[in-house]
Amino acid sequence: MTESDNNRILQTLTSEHHPTLVAVDFSDDSRAAVLWAAGFAARAGGRLHILHVIHDPAAEPGYYRAGHETPLQPMEQAAERMLNAFVEELQRAHPGLAALQAAEKELVTGLPPGRIVEAAGLAQAKLIVIGSRGMTGLPLLLQGSVSERVVELADRPVVVIKATGRRRREVNDRKKEEKARRKAEKALKKNKKKRKDMTEEDG
């Protein structure tokens, strides 16, 4: 296949008016999917549309509240914060990806497979990009079955992306570092409080 053939294929899959839609759940594979979709959209001269489907299953309640200081925060607000943080992290790490810097973001609620396909239709996307598997710890509904079901339901091409082993290790290392940092901060606060209490007792 020649370069001109590749360019024609690119143009049929995306354009300025038909974005590349990438569905994310904040997992490692989602990060890889966003980067692949951003590169693809840039090559084809199209826009990037990043979608997250808000779904808090009974098997894993409170997913959107984990890690937040306000446990009673509405699920939609927590999901919006997570999506913004997810995209901003990628934008800072990859400033040269113009499509990523100008990406559109969208939140919808419902069951992920059907809503992803529906959102792609409403956005007039010619291509759907999705990670191979979802967040570790979430039930099967949010793991492998989502990408498989999207492929079955979609009436347009779907690209399924899997993060490399190196990328997974880097993300896991960062998570361990962040966990250690939070643990150290918690211990420091506890020690400060203990010293303060002892000082008050002496006084």
CATH number at residue 144: 3.40.50.620
Three-state SS across 69-102?
CCCCCCHHHHHHHHHHHHHHHHHHHCCCCHHHHC
Q: In this structure, are 37 and 107 located in the same domain?
A: yes
Q: In this structure, are 104 and 150 located in the same domain?
A: yes
How many helical (H) and strand (E) elements, i.e. helices and strands, does the chain have? 7, 5
Q: In this structure, are 83 and 23 located in the same domain?
A: yes
Q: In this structure, are 199 and 158 located in the same domain?
A: no
**What does the alpha-carbon distance between residue 137 and residue 63 come to, in Å, rounded to a whole number?**
10
* Three-state DSSP class for residue 202: helix
Number of structural domains (the chain) is: 2
Task: Name the nearest CA neighbour of 160 among 147, 144, 143.
Answer: 147
pTM score above 0.75: no
Q: How far is CA 146 from the centre of its chain?
A: 14
Element (H, E) at 18: none
| Domain with 86 in it | 3-163
Q: What is the pLDDT of residues 54-106, one digit of tens each?
A: 987 665 667 776 555 555 568 888 899 999 999 999 999 999 999 999 999 99
Q: What is the pLDDT of residues 148-189, one digit of tens each?
A: 899 999 999 999 998 876 555 555 556 666 677 777 777 777
Q: What are phi and psi of 142, to 5 degrees?
A: -105, 15
Q: In this structure, are 84 and 135 located in the same domain?
A: yes
Would you tell me the crossing angle of helices 28-44 and 75-93 to the nearest 10 degrees?
A: 60
The predicted pLDDT at position 82 comes to 93
Task: Name the nearest CA neighbour of 27 among 135, 171, 150.
Answer: 135
